[in-house]
Amino acid sequence: MSDRFVVLSGCSGGGKSSLLAELASRGFETVEEPGRRIVVEETDRRGSALPWVDPVAFAHRAVATALADRLSAPAEGGVFFDRGLVDAATALEHLTGEPTVQRLGRAHPYHRQVFLTPPWPEIYVADAERWHGFDEAVAEYERLRIAYAALDYDVVVLPKIDVAARADVLLTKLNPETAT
């Protein structure tokens, strides 16, 4: 596994982007979620690779974007990813039945610990890039939890606490020696 690349995954609307922003504010390298970037790009150019128009094309773009994100990550130091290749491959496999998770997940590993944000209905909101409902987000969470476990990741479910405390928990799990 690549110790440099840490994935924040889990339920849509579970606080991943807020956690990523907190980590960035603390000076860590971060990579924003591929899906949200794709939705913005496709909407701006009136494209159809959107999850509510052509979900298979969207998933293929997410896989390609996640691969490109890995390649363009800084050459040294840790990087936190808001979702990663396993997330995109899980979506593609769910939509098409193509066995992509094991193949791509094993070929492009991340840090052995993956951090999942659990379903949290109190903070879940739909927005311009997230049209699906909470039930769909929970189903996605379950698929991701299973996919990461099947790839032998140490799945860490983050507690439902404020974002700064969540970042502290994540950083302590990554580096227990720094715990105070």
- For residue range 28-75, list pLDDT tens digits in order: 999 998 988 998 898 899 998 887 889 899 899 999 999 999 999 887
How far is C-alpha 58 from the chain's CA centre?
A: 15
Residue-level pLDDT at 43: 87
Q: H or E segment at 115? A: strand 113-117
Helix/strand/coil percentages in the chain, nearest 5: 50, 10, 40
What are the CA-CA distances from residue 48 to residues 53, 67, 88, 90 (Å)?
A: 6, 21, 17, 20
Q: H or E segment at 62? A: helix 55-72
Residue-level pLDDT at 155: 96
Residue-level pLDDT at 24: 95
For 132-179, what is each residue's pLDDT tens digit? 677 788 889 999 999 999 999 999 999 999 999 999 999 999 986 554
What are the CA-CA distances from residue 72 to residues 60, 82, 138, 141, 153 (Å)?
A: 18, 15, 31, 27, 23
User: What's the half-sphere exposure (Cβ side, CA atoms, 13 Å) at 21?
Assistant: 6
Domain 5-178 has CATH 3.40.50.300: yes
User: CA-CA distance, 100 to 89, in Å (whole number)?
Assistant: 6
pTM exceeds 0.85 for this model: yes
Whether pLDDT at 91 is above 90? yes
Residue-level pLDDT at 179: 46
Residue-level pLDDT at 130: 55
